[in-house]
Structure 1
Amino acid sequence: MTLLQGSCQCGHVRFTLSERPVDATACHCVMCRKQSGHHFASANVSKSAVVVTGAEHITWFQSSEKVRRGFCSRCGSWLFWEPVFRDWTSVALGAIDGATGVRLERHIFVASKGDYYDIADGLPQNER
């Protein structure tokens, strides 16, 4: 059963999710800010719940020893980030087509957030 579908901006990479994403998080770390241009919102699903069409257009960037980030090599859309030694992936909420059915649960790495905005939505904020 497909719950959600998504794609990159150019449509060369498409994905379907067979489970609803959980742990929706806005990350304010320097790496997410550099790559996205602001903070990055994503939620987690098991790797087995993700089916990708056009996977040959995904480039994986190893951003640290523990994490890699997947983006479309044609349009640059950031689609996934995943811990290397875990069985889940985090999907960019903005890449999902239509309503997601999830809500942000928390902000992380707020000690690294940009000075040009405030976080005022009342959600929990973790320094790291």
Structure 2
Amino acid sequence: MATAGGYTGACLCGGVRYAIRGTLDAPVACHCSQCARTSGHHAVMACCADADLDVSAGGTLRWYASSASVKRGFCERCGGNLFWKDATSAVTYVTAGTLDRPAGLKLSAHIFAGSRADYYDIDDDLPRSDAW
């Protein structure tokens, strides 16, 4: 939920809760195969500064290294896909579906659109790219 101080969110079971002080960038929909495999569809993520992310309950938070520099945070109990982090940057992407509602965010773009699965179409006029 968007609050005067930022946002809050959690996984499905509540084993991982977090707060974001400050702002989130407008979310993007990532259609790459890795996001599809971790979420079951495309993943919608919003970016915040690492320093603004506070994991207040993280006993079930686990990290999976999906490539040499990228790790993905998830709840080991419910499987909730929560975070995406590139070790070479000072930002973390938060999966928008885990934010408490209302978040007040609007989707801004589609990335890796050419990698989308063949069972759905992208039916909006937002910017698209086939890369990051």
Deviates more, 1:49-58 or 1:9-18: 49-58
Selected match of 2:52 from 49, 52, 70: 49
Partner Cα separation in structure 2 for residue 27 and residue 51 of structure 1: 24
Equivalent residue number for residue 80 of structure 1:
83
Selected match of 1:26 from 9, 26, 29: 29
- 1:23: Cα distance to partner? 4.0
For normalisation by structure 1, the TM-score amounts to 0.95
- 1:28: Cα distance to partner? 0.3
Selected match of 1:105 from 105, 108, 131: 108
- 1:96: Cα distance to partner? 0.4
* Equivalent position amino acid for 1:36 in 2: S
Aligned-pair identity in percent equals: 38
Q: SS of the residue aligned with 1:56?
A: coil
CA contact (8 A) 1:2 1:16 kept: no
* Equivalent position amino acid for 2:51 in 1: S
Partner Cα separation in structure 1 for residue 96 and residue 82 of structure 2: 8
Equivalent residue number for residue 89 of structure 1:
92
Q: SS of the residue aligned with 2:36?
A: helix
Partner Cα separation in structure 2 for residue 72 and residue 120 of structure 1: 31
CA contact (8 A) 1:5 1:15 kept: yes
CA contact (8 A) 2:15 2:59 kept: no
Q: Which structure 2 segments of 5+ residues have no match?
A: none
For normalisation by structure 2, the TM-score amounts to 0.92
Is 1:71 the equivalent of 2:74? yes
Number of aligned residues: 128
Equivalent residue number for residue 15 of structure 2:
12
Partner Cα separation in structure 2 for residue 54 and residue 18 of structure 1: 16
- 1:87: Cα distance to partner? 0.5
Runs of 4+ in 1 over 2 A off after TM superposition: none
RMSD: 1.1
